[in-house]
Structure formats: structure tokens, C-alpha cells
């Protein structure tokens, strides 16, 4: 589906780049949201956020104050003179948010996974061109994310954006939700006009990592940040560990470097062209060499076939994997990259041998 969107620069927000959305994970009390908003004055934010209905993993956690908080959020936004945004997960939330004059809606990660829920929200919004931001689904499924955006566009909305909040992890991870940056980058490639906001709070799950992940988001040229901020983070009723004080947000904002996307500096541009040509040449060589390697793999496949030997020779593979990894690491490549590279080479090699041994292709 082709997207015909109203550019985010025409949504009436203060800052064009980067857009900053901040505010508490949850609206808890009238004073908490008002004090947080007032604290955010110096951060010059574009939009005040606050969750009213909270999708929590386990029951008996704080599930939000409900509709009563909509007015508190709106009043705090008025006092700060910025639009406000909250999460909606069904048609009832949409109607109540619209009635309370909430300016921007977002669809949470646990809702984006469910096409029925997204469709219900899209239908409830038919005929109303309010900005809607769609968080990625919890699972790393780009078509599902795009499908939600398509449902909104099909309902006539044109102010649509995405929020990258990372993908669920299981077991040990440095992140609460793995960023898999390649997924939002691919989304940007597929729908260039779609604004993408990065949510370092839910990606990291811890306040210490908000700054570096925010910097990374800006360096990857995403359109903005959504950062959870609470007047007393440690007392927050949800996501306490990842929330930061308004003062800390001001500090982070000052420290963030906003690099240019392009330049008119001739000398730099010439040098860049030259270096890119070098890269193009190296890539051609890489592909030549990889193809040569696969040709040898095919010959090995032929030999194995003639001698009735299995494709996978575990000891040989273990040895290659170890040796190549350390060769790469000694040359300054990361262990993770070498692991991914050799897993990929090995997979292709097996496939090529399979084709030869089973007379496919
Ligand atoms: C939130 O923004 O507070 C929230 C619940 O986010 P997510 O849907 O990304 O988990
Ligand atoms: Mn949260």
C-alpha cells in the first residue's frame, strides 16, 4: 500500500528535528503529572505523554488511573502549552481520549500485535485526522507493524507515525527490549515519509542507558525521542527503573549531539565520494570471493555425494568457526559480527552442497 501522509513538519509541533515527547509512564495523580510537566519547562518538549490505561504483564500491578486522569494530563499540557498524548487500546479509549481533547494518540506494543484491536481503533477514528503513533509489535515482525499503519491509513488518517520501542527478549540481555535497529531502518527504507520516534526508555529499561541509546537514535537520523520522565522516578507506580527526572532530561537534551544529515562542504563531499568508491570496489571483491568460496563448497558437495558422506561435518565446522572468529577478532572485528557472518556463510554453504547432493537447481 502506498502511503500518503501529512509530513510531520506540518503537525504543528514546536521542533522539527528532533521531536521530543516526554512525561510519565503513567498518569498517577493530578499533582504528579502537573509537577512533572512544570519540571519539563526547560526541556522544551513538543508533546507531553502520560499513560492512562496501562497494559501490564501481570494482574495486580498498577493498571492506570483510567479516564479521570485524562483531564489531569490535558490540564498539564495546557499549562506547559504543548499537545498531550496517551495510549489507546480499544474504541472506548479512543472515544474517551477524544472527548477529553487529547491531541495525539499512540497504540502500544501489545496492541499492535492484534489486528482486531488495531482495526477497532482505526474504525473508531474514521473521519478524524488526529495524529496517531504506532509502537512496534512486541515481536520482531515488520509486516505486522506496517499492517497496523496501513489499517490507520485505510481509515483516512494522514498524520501517522511510528514509535520504535524494541522487541521482547527472553533470558539475559542488556536491553529490556532488544532494539534490532535493522527493523526500524528497514521501515524507514520502505516508507521514507513516515516519521519514526525512538523510545529509549522501553528499549533500555534502565535510566543509565537512556542517553547513549538516544544519541544512537539521533545518529541513525530517526525523527525524535519519547522519553519517560517522572517528578520522583523511584516512586513511580510503573516502570520506575527507566524513568528520569525532568532535570536529568534537560541535561541529556543538552548533551545530545545533533549531526547534520547533509552538508555543502565540497572538500568533504569529494572525499566521501572517493571513499564510497573504495567501498564499492571492496564489496565487488567480497562478492567475487564469496562466490568462489561457494563454488568450492559445491565441489566438496559433489565429492561427498560420490563417497556417500553427510554434509555436516561437525568437528570441521567447530574448528572453522573458532579459527575464523579469532582471526576476525584479531583484525578488530567484533565477535558478534564474526559469529553472524560465519553462521550465514555456513548456512549458504550447506544449502549449496544440498543442491548438488540432491540434484536440486
Ligand atoms: C508505555 O509507553 O508506557 C508503554 C506501555 O509502552 P509499550 O507499549 O512500548 O510497552
Ligand atoms: Mn512505560
Residue 216: which CATH number? 3.20.20.70
* Ligand 2: centre distance to CA 156 (Å): 29
pLDDT tops 70 at residue 361: no
What range defines the domain where residue 120 resides? Answer: 8-255
Spatial contact of 70 and 102, defined as CB atoms under 8 Å apart = yes
Q: What is the pLDDT of residue 185?
A: 98
Please, what is the average pLDDT of the chain? 96
Ligand 1 atom closest to the Cα of residue 238 is: 3
Q: Mean of the pLDDT values across residues 205-220?
A: 98
What distance in angstroms lies between residue 130's CA and the mean position of ligand 2's atoms?
A: 22
In eight-state DSSP terms, residue 244 is B
Percent of the chain with pLDDT over 70: 100
Decide: 133 in ligand 1 pocket, CB within 6 A.
Answer: no
Q: Is the pLDDT of residue 66 over 70?
A: yes
Given a cut of 90, whether residue 280 has pLDDT beyond it is yes
Confidence at residue 47, expressed as pLDDT on a 0 to 100 scale:
98
Distance from chain centroid for Cα 87: 17
pLDDT of residue 360 exceeding 80, the answer is: no
Length of the chain: 361
Which of 203, 236, 255 is the endpoint of a domain? 255
Q: Which residue lies with its CA nearest to atom 3 of ligand 1?
A: 25
Query: Nearest CA to 187 among 160, 169, 162?
Result: 162
Q: Is there an atom of ligand 1 within 6 Å of 176 CB?
A: no
Tell me: the pLDDT tens digits for 148-193? Answer: 999 999 999 999 999 999 999 999 899 999 999 999 999 999 999 9
Ligand nearest to the CA of 241: 2
Query: 177 and 154 in one domain?
Result: yes
Question: If you average pLDDT over residues 28-51, what whole number do you get?
Answer: 98
Reported for 237-241, long-range contacts at CB under 8 A and 24+ positions apart, including other chains, are: 237/26, 237/28, 237/62, 238/25, 238/26, 238/51, 238/54, 238/56, 238/61, 238/62, 239/25, 239/26, 239/201, 239/202, 239/205, 241/205, 241/206, 241/207
Cβ(49) – ligand 1 distance below 6 Å: no
Extended strands (E) in the chain: 19-23, 47-49, 84-87, 104-107, 132-135, 160-164, 167-168, 177-178, 196-198, 224-228
Q: 167-168 and 19-23: which strand pairing?
A: unpaired
Number of domains in the chain: 2
Task: Find cell 556463510 and name the residue.
Answer: 345
CATH code of 271's domain:
1.20.59.10
Half-sphere exposure of residue 58: CA atoms within 13 angstroms, side-chain side: 3
Mean pLDDT of 102-118: 98
SS3 219: helix
What is the Å distance from ligand 1's center to 202 Cα?
7
Same domain, 114 and 229: yes
Beta bridge partners of 248: none
Residue 305 and residue 230 share a domain: no
Amino acid at each position: 500500500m502506498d502511503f500518503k501522509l501529512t509530513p510531520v513538519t506540518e503537525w504543528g509541533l514546536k521542533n522539527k528535528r528532533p521531536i521530543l515527547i516526554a512525561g510519565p509512564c503513567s498518569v498517577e495523580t493530578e499533582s504528579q503529572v502537573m509537577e512533572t510537566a512544570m519540571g519539563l519547562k526547560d526541556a522544551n518538549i513538543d508533546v507531553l505523554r502520560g499513560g492512562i490505561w496501562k497494559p501490564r504483564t501481570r494482574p495486580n500491578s498498577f493498571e492506570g488511573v483510567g479516564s479521570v486522569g485524562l483531564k489531569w494530563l490535558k490540564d498539564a499540557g495546557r499549562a506547559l502549552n504543548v499537545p498531550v498524548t496517551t495510549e489507546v487500546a480499544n474504541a472506548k479509549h479512543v472515544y474517551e481520549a477524544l472527548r477529553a481533547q487529547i491531541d495525539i494518540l499512540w497504540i502500544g506494543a501489545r496492541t499492535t500485535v492484534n489486528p482486531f484491536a488495531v482495526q477497532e481503533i482505526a474504525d473508531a477514528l474514521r473521519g478524524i485526522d488526529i495524529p496517531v503513533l504506532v509502537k512496534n509489535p512486541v515481536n520482531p515482525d515488520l509486516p505486522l507493524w506496517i499492517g497496523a499503519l496501513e489499517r490507520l491509513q485505510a481509515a483516512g488518517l494522514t498524520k501517522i507515525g511510528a514509535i520504535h520501542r524494541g522487541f521482547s527478549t527472553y533470558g539475559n540481555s542488556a536491553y529490556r527490549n532488544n532494539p534490532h535497529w535493522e527493523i526500524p531502518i528497514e521501515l524507514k527504507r520502505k516508507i521514507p515519509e513516515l516519521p519514526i520516534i525512538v523510545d529509549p526508555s522501553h528499549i533500555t529499561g534502565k535510566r543509565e542507558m537512556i542517553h547513549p541509546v538516544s544519541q544512537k537514535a539521533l545518529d541513525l537520523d530517526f525523527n525524535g525521542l519519547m522519553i519517560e520522565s517522572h517528578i520522583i522516578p523511584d516512586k513511580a507506580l510503573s516502570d520506575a527503573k527507566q524513568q528520569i527526572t525532568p532535570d536529568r532530561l534537560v541535561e541529556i537534551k543538552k548533551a545530545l549531539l545533533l549531526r547534520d544529515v547533509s552538508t555543502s562542504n565540497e572538500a568533504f563531499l569529494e572525499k566521501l565520494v572517493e571513499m564510497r568508491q573504495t567501498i564499492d570496489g571492496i564489496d565487488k571483491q567480497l562478492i567475487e570471493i564469496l562466490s568462489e568460496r561457494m563454488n568450492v563448497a559445491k565441489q566438496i558437495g559433489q565429492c561427498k555425494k560420490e563417497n556417500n558422506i553427510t554434509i555436516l561435518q561437525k568437528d570441521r565446522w567447530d574448528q572453522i568457526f573458532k579459527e575464523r572468529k579469532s582471526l576476525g577478532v584479531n583484525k578488530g572485528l567484533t565477535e558478534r559480527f564474526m559469529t553472524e557472518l560465519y553462521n550465514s556463510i555456513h548456512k549458504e554453504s550447506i544449502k549449496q552442497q544440498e543442491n548438488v547432493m540432491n540434484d536440486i537447481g
